[in-house]
Chain A
Amino acid sequence: MNIVVNGEQVNCDDDLTVSKLLIEQKVKMPEMVSVEINGKILKRTEFEQTLLKDDDKVEFLYFMGGGRWA
């Protein structure tokens, strides 16, 4: 199936969970990432069981701070 990850077309296997997608996309620190599918933010506890569907639009949203820890 085809999904869109952060605006880019990605071809992937059926039965792909969000957890597996994070691994496939080589996201090094998943605890830094919020995942949104078709405009809805997913709970972290839903990563394991959420299956992706054809044409899903997935966004990986990263924590980004600034100059320093204060």
Chain B
Amino acid sequence: MGLNEQQIERYSRQIILEEVGGTGQEKLLCSKVLIVGAGGLGAPAGLYLAAAGVGTIGIVDSDKVDLSNLQRQIIHHTGDVGTEKVDSAKAKIQAINPDVTVQTYQSRLTAENISEIIRQYDFVIDGTDNFASKFLINDACYFEKKAFSHAGILRFDGQLITVLPGETTCYRCIFRSPPPAGVVPSCSEAGVLGVLAGVIGLLQATEAMKYLLGIGELLTNTLLVYNALEMEFYKAKLDRNPDCPLCGSSPTITELKDEQQPVCDLKED
């Protein structure tokens, strides 16, 4: 495709890196990343991937911007309260970088619609906040053989892992199925330090860029656990699980289905 003069200047600090170069920048501009959830994790990831020149960014979210989101979901501004998150996110991304094409999906991902959407992308960032979605993304990415970054945050802790489905440890290798309803607190219940979303969301974006560029070592077969209070990063090495119900030797999950939402649904924040 070739870079124009403006692009060469815009991306100069990145092009100058030997591991990226003009070829890498062109790769990024031709790449497509899907961000599921324009929330705490998706906001910083979306902004930085847009700035970096990832050519197509898809954003999935069914919610509207709420005042209580703004403490960490930095893609949304005060004036956006009450508007659709996908529209708010799209406007900021386009303001940062007009090179980026933004596809919005103002819906919740389900077993019916997820495969068709993720099929169009090179890499998926799971920035969702609930276990049903996390398992659905893991399973759909497995069936579509789509690389993705999983992450979760709560209070002062965060964790993430990159999954190359069928090749490396998946979310179900570690956690077979969602926890019992009401056992795991949500951020609205337990709280979350705003900056934590930035730290973990940007680690996910870093993994996306490395994957798209084909550089470095991906965070596969390893759960990176971060604690902000101790300022500690810890890597738990995890082998693939032969008993994994999805990618193990005798799988019991052979088609996509929605996990049950917890019965005691808490009000959304």
Contact = CB atoms under 8 A, between A and B. Distances in A.
Q: Do A and B come from one complex?
A: yes
Interface of A: 6-7, 29, 31-32, 34, 36, 39-41, 43, 59, 61-70
Interface in B176-215: 179-180, 183-184, 186-188, 192
A69 B268 contact: yes
B187 to A, nearest CB: 5
Contacts of A43: 243
13 contacts: A34-B174, A36-B174, A36-B236, A41-B174, A61-B174, A61-B175, A64-B152, A64-B159, A65-B130, A65-B184, A66-B130, A66-B154, A70-B129
A66 B130 CA distance: 6
The 6 closest A-B pairs by CB, nearest first: A66-B129, A64-B152, A67-B129, A70-B130, A59-B236, A39-B239
B204 to A, nearest CB: 12
Interface of B: 37, 39-41, 69, 108, 127-134, 151-154, 157-159, 173-175, 179-180, 183-184, 186-188, 192, 223, 225, 234, 236-239, 241, 243, 261-262, 265-266, 268-269
A41 B237 contact: no
A67 B129 CA distance: 5
A66 B266 contact: no
Contacts of B131: 63, 65
A29 to B, nearest CB: 6
A36 B131 CA distance: 20
Given A7-B234, A40-B239, A69 B159 contact: no
B37 A66 contact: yes
Contact of A66 (B40, B225, B262): B40
B268 A68 contact: yes
